[in-house]
Amino acid sequence: MADCLFCKIISGDIPSNKIYEDDKVYAFHDIDPKAPTHFLVIPKEHIVSCGEVTEEQEAVVGHIFSVITKLAKEMNLGDFRVVSNCGESAGQTVFHLHFHVLAGRNFTWPPG
């Protein structure tokens, strides 16, 4: 999608600190980390949020979670948190589906 920050990161038009990439998924470090380890895993296909996933897109969302498992093991994350903010009042600022993966500190519940 032309005017999407994360589509531009996937295409390389905006640089990022890449962790992993395959034909369906891209993972990169968050520019403003909220934990010692904080990266984002996104589908290459533009999906607006986790509130806009169609049945045709469910495979890529499932794939994202196997990638998160693989990266968590490879990076020795230990315990970690996965977050997806869906909509502005839930904290979403970039409207391309993304899963935050946060690790390296203790997390409280409920989140703010």
Mark residues 73-112: x for contact with ligand 5GP by CB under 6 A, - for none.
------------x-----xxxx------------------
At 25, is the secondary structure helix, strand, or coil?
strand
Residue 3's region, left for phi above 0, alpha for psi from -120 to 50, else beta, is alpha
Q: Give the number of residues written for the chain.
A: 112
| Active-site residue list | 98
Say how many CA atoms lie within 13 Å of 45 toward its Cβ: 14
Report the partner that residue 48 touches, choosing among Zn ion, ligand 5GP, none (CB closer than 5 to 8 A by kind): none
The contact set with Zn ion (CB under 5 A) reads 1, 4, 6-7, 46, 96
The contact set with ligand 5GP (CB under 6 A) reads 5, 14, 16, 28-32, 85, 91-94
